[in-house]
Chains A and B, each alone.
Chain A
Amino acid sequence: MFKMRLRLSVFLILFLIFRQLACSQDTDIVVNGNFRGIPLISAFNYLETNYPLRFYYKEEWFVNDTAKVNIENQPIGEATRILLNGRPFTYRIIQGNQIVILPREEVAMLAGHIQNYSDNDVSDQAFILVGNVEDFGKQKAVILNGQIKDGKTGDPVIGAVIQVNNLQQGVVSNAEGRYKLTIAPGLYTLMVSSVGFEKNYYQVKIVGNGVLDMELFDKSIALDDIVIYGERVDKNISSHQMSLVELDNRSIKQLPSVAGGKDILKGLTTMPGVKSIGEFSSGINVRGGGEDQNLYLFNGAPLFNTSHVFGLFSVINPDVVDKLSLYKGHIPALHGERVSSVVDIRTSESAPDRVRIKGGIGLYDGKLMAEVPLYKDKVFFDAGGRTSYSNWMLQRMKDYNLRNSLATFYDLNGSLHALLPKGRISISGYTSFDEFKFASEVKYKYGSTLGSLNWSYPISSNLGSYLSISYSKYNVEKEDISTHLMQSRTDSEITYKGLKYRVKFGGINRHTLDAGFSLVKYDIMPGKQEPLNDYSMVLSSQLESEEAYEGAVFINDEYNLGLNLTFNTGIRVSGYSNPETPKEFRFEPRLSAKFRLNDFSSVKVSYNRNFQYLSMISYSSVSTPADIWKLSDSYIRPLEANQFALGYYRNFLNNSIETSVEIYYKGLNHVIEYKDGANLEMNPDLRNELIDASGRNYGVEFLLKKNSGKVDGWISYTYSRSLRRTSGMQAGEMINGNNWFPSSYDRPHDVTVVSNLHLNKRLQLSANFTYASGRPITLPEYKYFADDEVVVYFSDRNEYRIPPYHRLDITLSFDESLRIKKKWKGRWSFSILNVYGRRNAYTVYYKKEDPSELNDYNRFSLYKLYLIGRPLPTVSYLFMF
């Protein structure tokens, strides 16, 4: 058997045929070693250990062979020739550091007996041989499979295209970077390409079934452009799934810098239909839905808070994310629990070939992560952490409020993976903590704890099973520290325990079935208040705890009807039970269809119904981590969404340019709205502050994306509306006279332009521009005096809008070195956020004042709070080794 030192992949045999059977290769690796009297294998080992070299050979060839040479300052080619001198072997160096050793006899035997489909003359070029030579001529078609990897990081490359030159044949790598190609034996030139990578060519001689792993290398290692793309170049056309956004590990690294760091959720907001309510607000809003309508899954466990420092950063360290999938429309039946979207975040499941370290340092935070193999490629783990160090900077500020504020956070995550003889098991953990204090007024501490166990087990070649057990806890502690007499602490907490099991069956022709069940238990402690000192006048109190079970069974069938038509039908039956209400069951059908018009275009349609039994009660128009969660009960009914979507997808120039347009309509029932002046904090009668409303969100989304070239990027435009309507009969239960009114997420126009200019392989300039209509707000229109107080008379709910939001960011990134052999890779990124210093409003609020010349003798004023009011330069340094 071959000894594959650094890649323990599969049955891969490499042979070389070349014009000169024995020749030395030009390479800049010069080696030394006294190998007199030591086994030849040990000599190879020594060279591998002390130099960045890999040797490929069969151990049995050299079991009892001893070297007898002393090598001094010889290029590796010459050194190998000396070591093999007098033996029936020759060698070939590929990519500068991989030495493939071959028996001269076999190489000679193969030459000239095989069909040549390659771009080269069979005798003129080196070929990698795949398959057992003894099988040559026995099969008309053989299977070539393997994995496409990022040559720099070793990570699998998803969606890489493997094309067989001179034959109109090709495949695309899957989610694990793997591919499978059925082909006749012969000589071929394989071209491997993927967005952002240099094309790579492999000359292969395929003589039988075999495995060939191939590598791609960055065009330049430009981390600061944004590349968001699907599994395959034309996936937007070929997949039945619509309204899907995917980020893989590489494109995540390329998200724009925000305060010196990357942010996966804010990167999503550059895509059509995904927005945030304001600059640095917490979470995302998908197709007019609230932040709580998104299910964020981190390795299968749900996240209830997605932001550090009240929205400044996302809680997920982008370095640890291998893949993120955002389902904003057709949500597969296996997912439920929320009505707007599912954000499925996964860390890497690929075994590292060695210890790999990544890290970064920015203005406000630093991060580090490691991937460590423990036992061959069977057991490995990854761990990462991130922390902020903004406190010491705040303490140096002149302003009292800033000097006495705190804004600190950390998050830690780790996963342990074991590849079993059959299947795989992974255990994942995550914890985050935030402490935020604003001067001497209020202090928040909040954090999440997540754990999950995922076990995938192939029952047969057609049947796989997947088990996931998850746990999530989110707690908030708010301390009122304004005055000694009012000092108090309020705690709230939500706990989630989940179990999901599903099987995937592909044994029926043209069908792929996915079925299973899930069970979730929620426990909520909505509020517990205690005085902070003996003088405090705040009394201890606790709101009644809540608990509920949510279960579901689901089945999904992907049916390829032929004639370019694919159907995806599913049904999910969800059940809900809490102590207050009888068990309830609801049907959640999922339907989608794709009709491929031709190689470059397709039409898709989908319908989804989802129910949500858990809602977030927000203290303000801007979601914050301090908001509390509330379970459905007899008064607060489960939120229901019915979404229809229709999309047309058209690619140009061999898939290098993608365009799409999607139209959607989402009807909502039992949306939570708030009564005027709702009192939500520690309110035992919270339900009396809420109003049941219906909603309708609709819009059209355009995307034009250029995937390659010196300039790449995309333009997205969304026109959408998000409206609400109450139907109460009492004055307090009506909003705007029960007429439709815009929700807080209604921002009709949204344009994003993302462009990356690749100046050269090491230097890249990126520019991102965003424009969005202002968020709806309610403003005071009139005022009057009542008993010497100024009382404000407001407009209708959300009748006005804050000014439109627009911002331009630019980033220049520079790679220290692109050399593959260089272990330390570093990158500098210099960004200017908000280039023209627009003061985009975060919130608008009013404040009573003493009349003076400064405020035109007004008794109150409106204030606009903005977060970045000037051009903000940032710098960050990323490294890996």
Chain B
Amino acid sequence: MKNNATYIIGFALLIMGWSCKEVYYPGDIKSSERIPVIQGMIHNDEVPSVRLAWALRYDDNLTEYISGAEIRVTDDLGNSVTLEEAGSGLYTSFSSEFTGEPGRTYTLYVRLPDGNEYISSPELLPGYPVVDSLYADPGTREVLTYSGSNEPLSEFQEGLFILADLSEVADSVKYYRFSTKFVKEITYDLYPRTLMTKTVFEWKSGTIGNFYNVNQTVEYNDKQVLREQPVGFLQYDYNPLLETDIATAPYPEGWVLTFKAYSISAKVYGYYNSIARQLGSNDQMFAPIPSQVESTVECITDPEKEVIGVFEASAKTTVYKAFAWKDPEVYKSRDLESFPEDVGDGSTLPFPPEFWVPFN
């Protein structure tokens, strides 16, 4: 009898299905209007660049770039530069005469082939960020993956949490965007324990954190400061189980970071932060308040026309730093004067490449 009751109730629950989700296809999404996406930048000592594309409709996947646009960047001294099309929606200046300068105000003007004209909010290129320190905190992070039956599988990863401190002697809030690239240096022995054994060098490039890593300062001791700003996590992924007859297990010798802090305006911060919030509210079934993109560009020929866009005028401070860590508590770090951009990936080089940073 008890079993019967159990089955009946269990069956009822199964019938009920409790709660379920299914892909939802709203049939009446209004996306007949074509909305341009304008993403422009000018940094100190760099020429401006702009990417132009049409926003994709809800059910489209192929990006359509905008060609044939007229794009100008002007500053508050009356100087201007016309950007030239470089393909795939990218417009830039091939002359280095017009570059960003802290203290100057820049405005982006775009005229699309359909005749509509767009203009950004005037952007003051702020002063340089002051990075007090870039440092690491050894620790462990937990990453969840899910099995086919939705069972969460927990993986603990050891490594370095990279943090940054910034400060500014000013009484107003400063806004920053951060971008960090790393090059992981790896060495291991090929053909270990044989006469042919040799040490080879590998490196892998990537980014940590995301493009929308933004934050703002708070006042502390009459300074606008930002402390312990998370930059990203460097995983120490040495695994002795990989050791084979052909090679010893590769382990990271260390990481070289190119950390860039951009000082941006409040409006541009609002744009990036709205995207960061949007990405953070992904996959939440209780449907939080949507985070709409806060554009800083508007259409001047038709103020009702929608446009997505940002024009970032920012001053950039770059910090190069190498980190090495093999011990749970201790890591080594070294400040570098410079490090080349875009070294890409490389493997089994029998000698270290030119940019190689030795850690021993």
Contact indicator B278/A792 (Cβ below 8 Å): yes
Contact indicator B37/A784 (Cβ below 8 Å): yes
Q: Using A863-B21, A863-B22 as known contacts, say yes or no to A858 and B292 having CB atoms under 8 A apart.
A: no
Cβ-based interface call for A874 (8 A): yes
Contact indicator B58/A868 (Cβ below 8 Å): no
A394 to B: closest C-beta gap in Å: 8
Q: Which residues of B contact A621 (CB under 8 A)?
A: 286-289
Q: Which residues of B contact A535 (CB under 8 A)?
A: 140
Cβ-based interface call for A780 (8 A): yes
Contacts between the two chains (Cβ within 8 Å), count: 208
Cβ-based interface call for A363 (8 A): yes
1/0 per position for B8-24, CB-CB distance to A under 8 A?
Answer: 01101111111111111
Contact indicator B12/A874 (Cβ below 8 Å): yes
Q: Which residues of A contact B26 (CB under 8 A)?
A: 779, 800, 844, 862
Contact indicator A793/B21 (Cβ below 8 Å): no
Q: Which residues of B contact A579 (CB under 8 A)?
A: none
Please pick, from A678, A777, A845, the residue contacting B284 in the complex, using a CB distance under 8 A: A845
A393 to B: closest C-beta gap in Å: 6
Contact indicator B19/A783 (Cβ below 8 Å): no
Cβ-based interface call for B274 (8 A): yes
Shortest beta-carbon contacts, A-B, top 4: A677-B291, A677-B277, A787-B211, A864-B24
Cβ-based interface call for A853 (8 A): no
Please pick, from B23, B31, B278, B308, the residue contacting A862 in the complex, using a CB distance under 8 A: B23
Cβ-based interface call for B133 (8 A): no
Contact indicator B12/A847 (Cβ below 8 Å): no
Cβ-based interface call for B142 (8 A): yes
Task: Pick out which of these stretches binds chain A: B145-153, B180-188, B255-263.
Answer: B145-153
Specify the chain B residue showing the minimal Cβ separation from A735.
Answer: B292
Contact indicator B274/A783 (Cβ below 8 Å): no
Interface residues, chain A, with chain B CB atoms under 8 Å away: 363, 393, 396-402, 439-440, 482-486, 535, 537, 619-622, 624, 674-679, 731-732, 777-789, 791-795, 797, 800, 839, 841-848, 851, 855-874
Specify the chain B residue showing the minimal Cβ separation from A389.
Answer: B9
Please pick, from A400, A674, A843, A861, the residue contacting B286 in the complex, using a CB distance under 8 A: A843
Please pick, from A402, A779, A795, A865, the residue contacting B21 in the complex, using a CB distance under 8 A: A865
Q: Which residues of A contact B56 (CB under 8 A)?
A: 782-784
Cβ-based interface call for B61 (8 A): yes
Q: Using A399-B150, A782-B56 as known contacts, say yes or no to A844 and B287 having CB atoms under 8 A apart.
A: yes
Contact indicator A791/B278 (Cβ below 8 Å): yes
With A and B bound together, what is the CA distance between A842 and B58 in angstroms?
A: 22
Contact indicator B292/A794 (Cβ below 8 Å): yes
Contact indicator B12/A873 (Cβ below 8 Å): yes
Contact indicator A784/B308 (Cβ below 8 Å): yes
With A and B bound together, what is the CA distance between A808 and B307 in angstroms?
A: 45
CB-CB contacts below 8 Å: B68-113 with A: none
With A and B bound together, what is the CA distance between A793 and B278 in angstroms?
A: 10
Specify the chain B residue showing the minimal Cβ separation from A788.
Answer: B211
CB<8 Å pairs between A and B, sample of 11? A484-B156, A676-B277, A676-B291, A677-B292, A678-B289, A779-B29, A782-B31, A785-B53, A864-B23, A868-B17, A874-B12
Q: Which residues of A contact B274 (CB under 8 A)?
A: 676-677
Contact indicator A782/B35 (Cβ below 8 Å): yes
Cβ-based interface call for B338 (8 A): no
Specify the chain A residue showing the minimal Cβ separation from B13.
Answer: A393
Contact indicator A865/B19 (Cβ below 8 Å): yes
With A and B bound together, what is the CA distance between A735 and B15 in angstroms?
A: 42
Contact indicator A439/B292 (Cβ below 8 Å): no
Contact indicator A439/B150 (Cβ below 8 Å): yes
Q: Using A676-B274, A789-B212, A865-B21 as known contacts, say yes or no to A870 and B288 having CB atoms under 8 A apart.
A: no
With A and B bound together, what is the CA distance between A398 and B15 in angstroms?
A: 13
A302 to B: closest C-beta gap in Å: 25
B24 to A: closest C-beta gap in Å: 4
Q: Which residues of A contact B35 (CB under 8 A)?
A: 782, 793
With A and B bound together, what is the CA distance between A528 and B17 in angstroms?
A: 36
